[in-house]
Structures are given as structure tokens and as C-alpha cells.
């Protein structure tokens, strides 16, 4: 750190924390990342045991341009750090009535698949995906690439264009209502309702605007990084280190120190229990916003509206090493429940998991055979769950395990 160089501390080495550290370093800050775990990545980490490797967090890679952008900003070639390829098959869907639907990445091929197996006219699918792309174009620059807490962003050309075309966003209808009037087959309605779970929403409550999400897969594409999802974490750590970012692992932030609105630094605890204070001109928290206010800023009055907002759904995940291979399964698989609406009512109203839950199954060994022993598969099994409201989680997990194994 030079004499006049500003310093920054990033709390948490999750993907957002890594991205923030890279951007701060490129702005000229001397950056230190504090991570409570003994490894970087946060949710996007990995588990290795008995010859099986699992990506422990996100398993679907979309919008790779935002990862590549970090390398481009640093004047680096992303391919010098990691590689990925586009998936021709997005996911296989299994319905209770025995139907198996293959979601091909090519929209025309997918539309023909649906028409052949469901009788839904292909033009209905293509029309819906075109509208999904249009919603994305109208909202991407406004909501994804800019921050609405800055007044000037409300007066941008993109915001004005979005307001003029606001009627196309289906903001006053639920996602389910839009999908129900778009398709004849209720199984196809269920198919597109599922995209609400990508951000933990309920398709029977969230606005139809969320139908932008299918475009991320069918328009931009779904990808698989060579070596698995954890390669994203490792590549960003390498880039950050190349830019001079320093990582202190096994160090838990206890409090963001401040005087009034001015940040002064961070009090943190090392793995041996020793406490230290680091001064900094800037502090970025990669912890969830509620946790940041409650645990890291205990002396600061939290904005009530932010911390009291309804919580998204969560998930229960099992990591199973399976001593068998199943050719009928793909990298991404969905086993739909019979009554989708009852499943979401259970999660969001009863705050419990429905006895017949939808199950997502990811098998990275389908793309990376080295992730499992020969003739075996690594199963990442995920079931949507309610947010933590004090439920008996041991009982809930036992119930989910029985339901998954039974189905």
C-alpha cells in the first residue's frame, strides 16, 4: 500500500465479494478480503470425498459475460483463467404422468419437442420466448446493470424506454396467470412457472415480469465451466491475487466500526480466537443485508423496510455418491410434483415442505466424468424449502429425505 493509497476491506469471499474486491483493486484501492471459512467462494465452493466431487452451491451457469467482464476490465484474457462451453440440452423434465421433456437450448428444437409430446403449437412456445427476450431487453439495463438508488438513473434513456413499454412487462399479473393464458397444457404452465424459483419467488404471487428468466437460458444460454462451477471461484481468486488483493481466510468479521455515517474499519476474530481491528477507508459487506445490519452494525438503526421485507424461499440439498450410472439422466434434471400450487402454498404459507416436492437433480459427472469414480455418479439433490422461521429442521430434513427416496 502506497502512502496516499485508499484502503478497502471486503467482508466475505463469496462471488459478489470477489467481484467487489477486483473492481476496488482496479479503482486503485489496497484491498483486503476477510473470509470466515478456510476457503474462498462462500456458497460457490466444493466438496470432495471418497472419489466424488460436488459443487456445493449454484449448479447452473448463465450470463457468463459478467464473469468475463471482470477479466476484460483488468486487461486480462478470461480464457487464460478458465474455460466453459454452452450446453445443447438445458434440462430434462420428468412429470408424474410419465412424460419426459427435453429442454433443448435451441428454441426451435425445443418448440418442436413440446409440440410433439404435449400437442402445444410450436408457435406458442416461440412467441412466448420472443416476449421473454423483449422483457429482458426492456429491463436489463435498468435493473441489472444500474442501481435504482441513484437518482440520475431514473432519467436515463433506458429507463424512459422501459416506462414507455411498461405495459409489455406484465407487472400487474402474476407469473402463473400470464403462463396460464399463454399455453393450453397445464404441464407447460408448470414448466415455465418453475423459473420463479431461480430467485426464490412464488410463481402464484410474483409479477409476470419475471418471465424474463427463461431468456437467460433459451436466449443467452446455459453453460458448464471446465472443471465444474467451483472453477469460477478459483479463477476470480487468481485474478484478484494478480491485482494485489490480499485474502485472510479463517477470519470472522465481528463488527463494522463507524462513527456516525463514516466507516473506520472492521473488528474481526481470527481462527485462534484472537481479536483485531483493521482500519479502512471503505468497507464492503458480502453478507446478506439482514445479517449485515443485525450482526455487523449492531449500533446502527437498521432501515425497517429493508430488513422486514418478505424472505425468498430456501433449499435443502443432499450430496450423494451413487454407485451406479443412469443413462436416462442428464446434467440437469427436474422431477415435478403433481400439485405445484399446493407445493408453493406449503412453502410460503405453511412454511413447510409439501409431502410431494419437486426435486432438482444435478450430476456434474455427466459433463466432467472425473467428478465420480468409474461407473458412478455424483448426485446434487435439491428440494425447495421455506425460509428459516424456526422450523424443526431435523424433522423437516428427515421428511424430505423420505419423500425424495420414495419418489
Strand partners, 14: 41
Quick one: average pLDDT of 280-285?
A: 96
The C-alpha atoms of residue 313 and residue 342 are separated, in whole angstroms, by 15
**Residue 302 pLDDT class (50, 70, 90 cuts):** confident
Q: Write out the three cell numbers for 153.
A: 438513473
CA–CA separation, 268 and 46 (whole Å)? 25
Per-residue pLDDT averaged across 307-336, rounded?
Answer: 92
The whole-number pLDDT of residue 143 equals 67
User: Which stretch of 210-219, 265-274, 308-317 has the lowest confidence by average pLDDT?
Assistant: 308-317
In degrees rounded to 5, what are phi and psi of residue 255?
Answer: -165, 140
Three-point CA angle 183, 189, 190, nearest 5°? 165
Taking each helix axis from N to C end, the angle separating 122-139 and 157-164, rounded to the nearest 10 degrees, works out to 140
Average pLDDT (381-406) is 85
- Determine the pLDDT at residue 287: 93
pLDDT of residue 173: 96
Least confident among 3-7, 97-101, 132-136, 238-242: 3-7
- Asked whether residue 159 carries a pLDDT value surpassing 60, the answer given is no
Confidence bin at 147 (pLDDT 50/70/90): low
**pLDDT one-digit tens code per residue, 334-380:** 999 999 999 999 999 999 999 899 999 999 999 999 999 999 999 99
Rounded distance, CA 183 to CA 118, Å? 11
- The yes or no reply on domain 7-59+229-307 and CATH 2.30.40.10 is no
- Please give the mean pLDDT across all residues of the chain: 91
Pairing label, strands 314-322, 377-385: antiparallel
Cβ neighbors of 90 (< 8 A, separation 6 or more) are 103, 104, 105, 217, 218, 222, 332
67-81, 148-162, 386-400: which is most confident: 67-81
Reported as a pLDDT band with limits 50, 70 and 90, residue 397 is: confident
Cα 385 from Cα 312, distance rounded (Å): 10
Outline which parts of the chain fall under CATH 3.50.50.60.
Answer: 7-59+229-307
Alpha carbon distances (Å) from 240 to 39, 64, 111, 236: 15, 18, 42, 6
Confidence at residue 295, expressed as pLDDT on a 0 to 100 scale: 92
pLDDT of residue 177: 97
**Which whole-number Å values give the CA distances from 156 to 138, 147, 160, 171, 248, in the listed order?**
13, 12, 6, 21, 40
Could you tell me what percent of the chain has a pLDDT over 90?
A: 76
Question: Which is more confidently placed, 303 or 19?
Answer: 19
- pLDDT band (50, 70, 90) for residue 160: low
Residue with cell 443485508: 289
Statement: residue 151 has pLDDT above 70: no
Residue 152 has pLDDT above 60, yes or no: no
Q: What is the pLDDT of residue 45?
A: 95
In eight-state DSSP terms, residue 182 is H
Predicted confidence (pLDDT) per residue in 44-57, tens digit: 999 999 999 999 98
CA distance 382 to 56: 11
Backbone phi, then psi, for 281, in 5-degree steps?
-85, -20
Phi and psi of 131, rounded to 5°?
-65, -35
Segment 313-325 mean pLDDT: 94
Distance of CA 334 to the CA centre of its chain: 17
pLDDT for residue 407? 65
Crossing angle of helices 65-73 and 230-242, rounded to 10°: 10
Amino acid at each position: 500500500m502506497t502512502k496516499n493509497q485508499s484502503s478497502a476491506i471486503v467482508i466475505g469471499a463469496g462471488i459478489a465479494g470477489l467481484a467487489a474486491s477486483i473492481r476496488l483493486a482496479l479503482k486503485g484501492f489496497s484491498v483486503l478480503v476477510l473470509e470466515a471459512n478456510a476457503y474462498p467462494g462462500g456458497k460457490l465452493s466444493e466438496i470432495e470425498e471418497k472419489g466424488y466431487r460436488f459443487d456445493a452451491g449454484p449448479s447452473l451457469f448463465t450470463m457468463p459475460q459478467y464473469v468475463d467482464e471482470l477479466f476484460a476490465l483488468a486487461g486480462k484474457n478470461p480464457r487464460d483463467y478458465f474455460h466453459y462451453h454452452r450446453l445443447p440440452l438445458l434440462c430434462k423434465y420428468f412429470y408424474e404422468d410419465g412424460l419426459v421433456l427435453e429442454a433443448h437450448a435451441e428454441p426451435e428444437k425445443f418448440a418442436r419437442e413440446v409440440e410433439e409430446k404435449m400437442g402445444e403449437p410450436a408457435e406458442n412456445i416461440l412467441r412466448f420466448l420472443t416476449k421473454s427476450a423483449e422483457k429482458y431487453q426492456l429491463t436489463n439495463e435498468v435493473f441489472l446493470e444500474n442501481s435504482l438508488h441513484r437518482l440520475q438513473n431514473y432519467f436515463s434513456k433506458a429507463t424512459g424506454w422501459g416506462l414507455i413499454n411498461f405495459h409489455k412487462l406484465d407487472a400487474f399479473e402474476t407469473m402463473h396467470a400470464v403462463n396460464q393464458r399463454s399455453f393450453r397444457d397445464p404441464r407447460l404452465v408448470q414448466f415455465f412457472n418453475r423459473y420463479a424459483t431461480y430467485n426464490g419467488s412464488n410463481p402464484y404471487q410474483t409479477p409476470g415480469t419475471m418471465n424474463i428468466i427463461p431468456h437467460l437460458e433459451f436466449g443467452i444460454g446455459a453453460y458448464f465451466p471446465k472443471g465444474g462451477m467451483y472453477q469460477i471461484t478459483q479463477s476470480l481468486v487468481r485474478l484478484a491475487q494478480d491485482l494485489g488483493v490480499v485474502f485472510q481466510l479463517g477470519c470472522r468479521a465481528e463488527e463494522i466500526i463507524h462513527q456516525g455515517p463514516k466507516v473506520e474499519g472492521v473488528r474481526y476474530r481470527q481462527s485462534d480466537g484472537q481479536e483485531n481491528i483493521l482500519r479502512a477507508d471503505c468497507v464492503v459487506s458480502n453478507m446478506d443485508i439482514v445479517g449485515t445490519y443485525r450482526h455487523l452494525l449492531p449500533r446502527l438503526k437498521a432501515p425497517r423496510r429493508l430488513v422486514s421485507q418478505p424472505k425468498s424461499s430456501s433449499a435443502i440439498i443432499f450430496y450423494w455418491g451413487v454407485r451406479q450410472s443412469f443413462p436416462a439422466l442428464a446434467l440437469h434434471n427436474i422431477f415435478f410434483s403433481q400439485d405445484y400450487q399446493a407445493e408453493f402454498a406449503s412453502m410460503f404459507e405453511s412454511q413447510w415442505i409439501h409431502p410431494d416436492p419437486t426435486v432438482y437433480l444435478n450430476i456434474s459427472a455427466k459433463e466432467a466424468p472425473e467428478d465420480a469414480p468409474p461407473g458412478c455418479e455424483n448426485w446434487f439433490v435439491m428440494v425447495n424449502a421455506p425460509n428459516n422461521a424456526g422450523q424443526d429442521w431435523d424433522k423437516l430434513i428427515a421428511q424430505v429425505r423420505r419423500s425424495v427416496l420414495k419418489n
